[in-house]
Structure 1
Amino acid sequence: MLPSLAQILWTGLTAVIFLLWTGAMFTTFFRLRRAATEATGRMFPGPRGSLRSVATFLRDPRNRGARRRLGWLTLLLFAALAMQAVCPVCRPGG
């Protein structure tokens, strides 16, 4: 059975949301890594340095936009996946 247009559009929308979320997450990971290496002065900062950079990222007002973007994209991705589980039109093969 061929997928309906609604299923194709929903899958495409979910894929776009996932790509945006992946980009935001990788940007955040690279930002955290850079902050940890700058703070410790070591190439491999270790768990303690990494956790400190995460704590700084979560508190620093300069990162507010990145935190909000990542949070909203995460919620949007969860909502899209939940919708796919609940809505028969959005389900592949449904």
Structure 2
Amino acid sequence: MSKGILGTIGLALTLVFAIPVALLGLQFLALDGRPLVGVAFLAIAVLMVGIEEYLTTPTDLPGLVLGKTIGTVVEDPTEESETGDREENEETG
């Protein structure tokens, strides 16, 4: 999935907060012998990154709507040239 510069910065900021939570989970899991708490912290870290990556936010909606609208209103010029070439070949051939 391609990201703009703001999306990349947002992911980096999310990782700044998620990595310490994951490390805390690993500490509880491996060193302290509290697997339930460790797995819970690891799950929270994974959810932090997953939600940031895949959740559609209100700021994403205008871009999605605009992309779908442009796709239905404006036709792709490469599709027109391909169908035009086929029609010309059928007429001459």
TM-score by length of 2: 0.40
Higher alpha-carbon Rg = 2
TM-score by length of 1: 0.40
